Amino acid sequence: MKKVLVVAPHADDEVLGVGGTIAKNAAQGNEVYVCVVTRAEEPLFSKTVAEQIREETLRAHKLLGIKKAFFLEFPAVMLENIERYILNDSIMKVLQEINPDEVYIPHIGDMQKDHQIVNEAVMVAVRPKYRHKVRAVYAYETLSETEWNIPNTVNAFIPTVYQDISGFLEKKKQALACFETQISDFPDPRSLKAVEALAKYRGSTVEVAAAEAFVLIREIR
């Protein structure tokens, strides 16, 4: 058994980027944890919407088989206003409680600033100098964030690892469908059809029916 931690800047990022891999690990008997860093807060989001998103998140997590979720409650779309050491320490505490073998984080080149900040904060927490060493760190892609930033050599998402989710694509779609506040109709990238299309495209790259793609950041064997 291994322990897997997925760090999501916002609720639903974990499903968009790693939903199939989460379901697959849970089905294999591995422990999967999710850390949702931010929460929708006023004045940008109403209290009603924030509560609905939390309910949607918990339903999706139950469906995927997630063992435990950590909610850090930082304000969404405002992480740049949080002292860096406070965010780093909060994520570090989650890592120290779980001692995960694998960690999944958002891609550093994502357009949303919260994604970039979370990527950097987690990389501080997974430095191999601590007693517990994370064996592998992967970056995942998030539709409507990873593909929409200014294209350059730093922002490009160049996958090096593919997870076959052929038997778990439907469960990923079911989990995403829980987020009624977040998904839209195709051709919006946050639609069930777009998620399915990306999974099939990534799968065709390695000749499987569906896959999720990741960038390997570090692996210790």
Residue 154 pLDDT: 85
pLDDT for position 195: 98
- Rounded to whole angstroms, how far apart are CA atoms 175 and 147? 22
pTM of the predicted model over 0.85? yes
Tokens standing for residue 53: 């998103």
Q: Which of 80, 76, 82, 87 is nearest to 43 (CA)?
A: 76
Looking at residue 91, its pLDDT comes to 98
- The whole-number pLDDT of residue 44 equals 82
Enclosing H/E stretch for 106: strand 102-106
Reduced to 3 states, what is the DSSP secondary structure of residue 38?
strand
- 34 burial via Cβ count (<10 Å: 0-12, 13-18, 19+): buried
Residue 170: exposure state from Cβ atoms within 10 A (0-12, 13-18, ≥19): middle
Q: Are 38 and 26 spatial neighbours (Cβ–Cβ below 8 Å)?
A: no
**Which residues of the chain, if any, have pLDDT below 50?**
none
The 10s digit of each residue's pLDDT in 3-62 is: 999 999 999 999 999 999 999 999 999 999 999 999 998 888 888 988 999 999 999 999
Question: What pLDDT is recorded for position 42?
Answer: 82
- If you compute the radius of gyration of the chain from its CA atoms, what whole number of angstroms results? 16
Residue 135 identity (one-letter amino acid): R
Phi-psi region of 12 (alpha: psi -120 to 50; beta: other; left: phi over 0): left
CA distance 10 to 16: 11
- In three-state secondary structure terms, 187 is coil
What residue spans of 76-218 are helical by DSSP H? 84-98, 113-125, 169-177, 192-205
Residue 7: what pLDDT? 98
pLDDT score of 137? 98
CB 75 within 8 A of CB 39: yes
For residue 92, the model assigns a pLDDT of: 97
Residue carrying the six token digits 């999974």: 199
* CA 113 vs CA 7, 21, 27, 34, 107: distances in Å: 15, 25, 33, 20, 11
Count other Cβ atoms within 10 Å, centred on residue 63.
Answer: 19
